[in-house]
Amino acid sequence: MNTSKTTYSEELVFRPLPQLVIDANVNPQEFAAAQAAAQADYLAYWEDAAHELEWFHKWDAVLDTTNAPHYHWFPGGQCNIVHNALDRHITTGNKNKLALIWEGEAGDSKKYTYYELYREVNRLANALRSLGISKGDRVVLYLPLIPQTMITMLACAKIGAVHCMVFSGFSAKILRQRVVETQAKVVVTADGFYRNGHLIALKTLVDEALMGGSDSVETVIVVNRATLDVHMSEARDIWYDALIRQERSEAATEVMHAHDPLFILHTSGTTGEPKGVIHGHGGYMVALHRSLNWVFDIKPTDIFWCTGDLGWITGHSYVVYGPLIAGTTTVMYEGHPLYPQADRMWDIVSRYGVTVLYTAPTVIRMLMRYGHQYPRMHDLSTLRLLASAGESISPDTWLWFYKNIGHSQCPVLDTWWQTETGSCMITPFPVSVLKPGSVHRPVPGIMVDIVDDQGQAVPTGVQGNLVITQPWPSMLLDLDRNSQKYQSTYWPLKTHWYWTGDIVSRDEDGLIWIHGRSDDILNIAGHRIGNVELENAFLAHKAVAEVAVVGIPDKIKGEVGKAFVVLRPDFAVLEDRNEIIRMLKEHLRKEIGPVAVIRVIEFVDTLPHTQSGKIARHILKDREAGIAKDPSLLAES
């Protein structure tokens, strides 16, 4: 592996404003003390965190390593995440506080206090019980971003059933696969929903998925979201409203073991073929609680908006469970950020007074294209913290977000984590000194290392594989029905080294920089160059709106780069494409050096994305290699 320059703009450094440091839940001294304490005894650190939540019965030990790499956190502990996310708030001042602010794409909205949400969840929990659903049963959710989705997740968890969300943009074919794999007894869906001005029919896709029957599915519950005329199969289908109409608004909360499964969620395909990741009640709630209070610095007055879809881990952890455990107000928006125009997100921020905004680089890049006149139409002064996740945020995108949305007052937290990790692993804190493009340091209690393919630690500035060297509470429990794959994918070298699959380096200040997934890193004449560095350099040029760089074979250098570039509108109209190519190649040479050999630049109107919105480089690579991919895996971007 080669030494590489971390990024071209590493000299940029941002310090937190004094007031922010004074108000922070964790100030720099407390952060340093927590880091040191966790380093010395990470089990004691997590045990302290567990004590902050309510348990029906406390654990016998913090961690059981007997079956490593299957780790049991808080063995003997009994709890239910919904007790901490809802039930316990009903006896405090949170009872009448807003738990959820929901807005539909058409502009309709609905608000729930903790008490109202609690009662709705209880009614559905009772209804699910009356359908014969109990602890350990699987329920597939094929639902858009509507309140009933959150209610259904919580109702399942309350009675000990395992929810399995299938993203509402997926096809009937994928839905069928998930139903078959999970052997779900119930599917919960909606008649339709609104997205980018279109009415999307969903129930018909469920009918298609279940055509010819399914061994396991006994009931399909249908939420009336769009008053669509749908076919209801008499023996199988029931309207959500009819189902809960007679139900009582109190329901017993199932006592779960800390290690009992809470949900199954399939990875988005960033980390190879989708895998059914299982998360549990106990450890997951403990890590999320720390994450909201420490990383997101939650205060009683916050309005927290994570824009992730409930079909992905970001939605599970930072729209539903994390914010509710923290007792904050969570915002959910059904529709598209460009509907009816590019200021929708800023409109939502100003109308509800959002204080913490957590989104993804793909969303920011899309909105950047429309220029700063859209954020300028709204009062964004309530914001105090910005955050990003899912992909590398290029320093230029970071700066745009920082200046135009945060008005240079709000830290931008670049949070690194995975479906498998359950909560943020590597991220700055609000009080950190920030370097745009770096994900900073692991949070207290998380131990990482950077190693070569043989497992030897690499020196400062050298790229290597990111491994997490101690188990952590919100880690996946297993892969659904595939323990062997769990072992070989995540623990290939040692049973206590979780292999992330990301290539990273550490700079002289000890900060971590992500260079890409190991499959996406280029090897040009023996030099390993992250696709992230090449793409960031492209994004620093004013002509480029979006870009993906992939490696293509080269007789002499082994591999060279090919860039797929989406131009900004004012450059896209220019006739002389050769001149733009010349300009971009020269720009790359200046930013990175002669090693950055970009052989081909192809201009495209859009890039393929995974369903979760990330650039799907593997599709471009396969296309280059002439392999046609299943079009159902392509987003409608």
Q: What gap in Å lies between CA 536 and CA 8, rounded to an integer?
A: 9
Binding-site size, ligand WT7 (CB under 6 A):
23
Backbone angles phi, psi at 162, to 5 degrees: -105, 120
Indicate the SS3 state at residue 127: helix
Q: Does 7 bind ligand WT7 (CB under 6 A)?
A: no
Q: How far apart are CA 171 and CA 179, in angstroms?
A: 13
The span of 93-101, 165-173, 385-393, 628-636 binding ligand WT7 (CB under 6 A) equals: 385-393
- Considering the complex, state which of residue 178 and residue 517 has its C-beta at the smaller distance from ligand WT7: 517
Q: For ligand WT7, give the closer residue by CB, 7 or 268.
A: 268
Out of 71, 240, 417, 499, the only residue in the binding site for ligand WT7 (CB under 6 A) is 417
Q: Give the nearest distance from C-beta 164 to ligand WT7 in angstroms.
A: 16
DSSP lists the bridge partners of residue 522 as 529
Residue 95, judged by CB atoms within 10 A of its CB (0-12, 13-18, 19+), counts as middle
Among positions 416, 486, 499, 513, the unique one binding ligand WT7 when judged by CB under 6 A: 416
Q: Build a one-symbol-per-residue string for 263-282: x at contacts with ligand WT7 by CB under 6 A, - elsewhere.
A: ----xx-xx-----------
Interface with ligand WT7 includes 502 (CB under 6 A)?
yes
Cβ proximity of 209 and 172 under 8 Å = yes
Minimum CB–partner distance for residue 265 and ligand WT7 (Å)? 9
Helix or strand or coil: residue 49?
A: helix
β-pairing verdict for 522-524 and 356-359: unpaired
Chosen residue from 105, 391, 396, 535 binding ligand WT7 by CB under 6 A: 391
CB-CB contact of 175 with 166 (8 Å): yes
Q: Does 389 participate in binding ligand WT7 (rule CB under 6 A)? A: yes
Pairing of strands 522-524, 78-79: unpaired
Per CB under 6 A, 259 contacts ligand WT7: no
How crowded is residue 386: how many other Cβ atoms within 10 Å of its Cβ?
Answer: 21
- CB within 8 A of 616, min separation 6: which ones? 269, 607, 608, 609, 610, 633, 634
Residue 415 makes contact with ligand WT7 by CB under 6 A: yes
CB of 33 to ligand WT7, least distance (A): 26
The residue whose Cβ lies closest to ligand WT7 is: 419
By C-beta, is 122 or 418 nearer to ligand WT7?
418
Per-residue binding string, ligand WT7, 142-171, x by CB under 6 A, is ------------------------------
257 vs 275 by CB, closer to ligand WT7: 275
How far is Cα 205 from Cα 490, in angstroms, rounded to an integer?
34
Cβ of residue 528: shortest distance to ligand WT7, in angstroms? 16
- Looking from the CA of 14 toward its CB, the CA atoms found within 13 Å total 25
CB-based contact 381:374 (threshold 8 Å): no
**In this structure, which long-range contacts are made by residues 336-343, counting pairs with CB atoms below 8 Å and at least 24 apart in sequence?**
336/105, 336/195, 336/196, 336/197, 337/307, 337/363, 337/366, 337/367, 338/196, 338/366, 339/105, 339/196, 339/197, 340/197, 341/374, 342/367, 342/370, 342/374, 343/374, 343/375, 343/377, 343/378
Pattern 508-537, ligand WT7, x by CB under 6 A: ------x--x--------------------
If binding is defined by CB under 6 A, does position 316 make contact with ligand WT7?
no
> Using CB under 6 A, which of the segments 4-12, 156-164, 245-253, 499-507 binds ligand WT7?
499-507
Cα 565 from chain centroid? 25
327 or 390: whose CB is closer to ligand WT7? 390
Restricting to residues 434-463, name those near ligand WT7 by CB under 6 A.
439
Query: Does 474 engage in binding with ligand WT7 (CB under 6 A)?
Result: no
Q: What is the contact surface with ligand WT7 in residues (CB under 6 A)?
A: 267-268, 270-271, 313-314, 389-392, 414-419, 439, 500-502, 514, 517, 612
